């Protein structure tokens, strides 16, 4: 088993939750779907305690009371998220995610010069229980996790890269980039030193492709990264 570097879990848990108060950014709405652009720093769902009640789900339901959760993004990850408008749509979309029938593309900025310009990370992941919610690579008991990457450009000692996860493990992209020696900039769990000293996690869910619950037509939703 290969473990990632230990984290300051106590410091992380004591952080003040101060989510951005930006207006809800709706990318698409119809009778079955609501697609929004989630800001970095906002929880997808409420945490434990009243101070963690503000989340994207609550904000979406304030505008669309019937909205139902389908999937999540990490608090510090921004980008495309889809919500269901009906129980049928929630089941249909949930099965697509479960069966890996959706296609997700992320953009990230990582530390250093990532080479070669394309490649695949195939490293199994498991929760790092003493330091959860951190994950770690474990070849003995980890669950399969595969990420494809394609470099977009190099800039000032960092790399802008497009990431395509073929599995959906927790923190998958963050751990896989760290395992390559190129942690995502601003990552409070897996980056260290200068790589960590950024105002936000430089990870954005840029594009989501799925089949519409009503008729099965293929749809693509996109929100450009702001970094």
CA-nearest of 22, 69, 75, 81 to 47 is 75
CA–CA gap between residue 34 and residue 79 (Å, rounded): 14
Distance CA 166, CA 203 (A): 17
Catalytic residue among 18, 54, 74, 197: 74
Q: Give, in order, the Cα–Cα distances in Å from 177 to each of 30, 72, 77, 93, 111.
A: 36, 20, 15, 28, 9
Q: How far apart are CA 207 and CA 223, in angstroms?
A: 7
The question of whether 224 is a catalytic residue gets the answer: no
| Active site residues per annotation | 74
């Amino acid at each position: 088993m290969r473990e990632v570097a230990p984290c300051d879990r106590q410091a992380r848990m004591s952080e003040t939750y101060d989510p951005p108060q930006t207006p809800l950014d709706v990318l698409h709405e119809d009778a079955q779907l609501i697609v929004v652009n989630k800001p970095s720093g906002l929880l997808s769902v409420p945490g434990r305690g009243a101070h963690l009640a503000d989340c994207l789900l609550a904000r979406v339901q304030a505008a669309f009371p019937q909205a139902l959760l389908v999937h999540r993004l990490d608090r510090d990850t921004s980008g495309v998220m889809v919500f269901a408008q009906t129980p049928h749509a929630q089941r249909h979309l949930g099965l697509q995610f479960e069966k890996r029938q959706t296609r997700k593309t992320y953009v990230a900025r990582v530390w250093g010069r990532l080479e070669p310009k394309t490649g695949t990370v195939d490293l199994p992941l498991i929760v790092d229980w003493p330091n959860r919610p951190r994950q770690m690579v474990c070849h003995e008991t980890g669950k399969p996790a595969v990420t494809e990457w394609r470099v977009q450009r190099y800039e000032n000692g960092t790399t802008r890269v497009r990431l395509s996860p073929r599995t959906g493990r927790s923190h998958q992209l963050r751990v896989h980039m760290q395992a390559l020696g190129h942690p995502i900039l601003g990552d409070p769990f897996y980056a260290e030193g200068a790589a960590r000293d950024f105002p936000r996690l430089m990870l954005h869910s840029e594009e989501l492709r799925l089949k519409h619950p009503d008729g099965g037509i293929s749809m693509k939703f996109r929100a450009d990264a702001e970094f």
